[in-house]
Amino acid sequence: MSVDVEDWFQVQAYHGLVPRRDWESLDRRVERNTDRLLEMFDRAGVKATFFTLGWVAKRHPALVRRIVAGGHELASHGYGHQRVFWIGKAAFRMDIRCARRLLEDVAGVPVRGYRAPTFSIDPQRTPWAHAVLAEEGYAYSSSVFPAREVLSGGGSAPRGPHRPDPNGVLELPMTAVRILGRDLPCSGGNWFRQFPYRLFRAGLLRVNRAEQRPGIFYIHPWEIDPDQPRLPQAGLLTQLRHHNGLRSMERRLERLLRDFRWDRMDRVFPEATGGTAPHPVTA
């Protein structure tokens, strides 16, 4: 179970609609929404990995400390939520260095995991990313979506843990289920909100039982906040994609927490941080 800790106005769907210079003046809702997720996880007895933006941690340090106090893994989502293949190697290095130092200073725990904003690491455009992550002290990444041909028209990546660069960190790709020779997303986000719950559950069960491997699920705090502001300048398709399913999301998530066993990334995949024995987490 993983959470990408970012606020509603930082999503990729609003890129170009909300200038970064305006972020400070907008209604920040990330703390209250993340606290609601922490409460839900606590009731369900679930521990998760929180991939947290440095920008958020700087403004909400008490939230970061509550995440750690709850027994969850703290990981990095970078600092400024910029796509890796847009900013380039040098800026990427500074972004992940700044985020990791800030998170560790705030929380007092080591930060070993990283997830790229919008899963913006791929072999074609960022072949250097995994090596840079290793050089900056990270142990693993969860930044690649194997269902790339569905999401952005590129080629597929391996669906299981792998090391794209022998000098780089281990990659724990997002879960995709193979159906009729195609890799389809089965990890969360918009796909979880739009697909019928039973269909999504069936996909995860197939990964668990037929393929004998755990799935990785992700959610954003804003996805359980149907009352968040709307952007009138956003197009109809953008508004539908961002807001559709928000009112039922909390209920669907509670069901998902009951239907499967969940844990932190570093315990489900101990090999990512130096362990050896896998931790089985299945339905």
Give the predicted TM-score (pTM) of the model. Answer: 0.94
pLDDT tens digits, 61-95:
999 999 999 999 999 999 999 999 999 999 999 99
* Percentage helix, strand, coil for the chain under 3-state DSSP, each rounded to 5: 45, 10, 40
Close Cβ partners of 209 (under 8 Å, ≥ 6 residues apart): 282, 283
Q: Please give the domain boundaries of the chain with CATH numbers for all domains.
A: 2-273 (3.20.20.370)
Q: Averaged over 16-45, what is the pLDDT?
A: 96
pLDDT tens digits, 112-165:
999 999 999 988 899 999 999 999 999 999 999 887 544 443 346 788 899 999
pLDDT tens digits, 97-108:
999 999 999 999
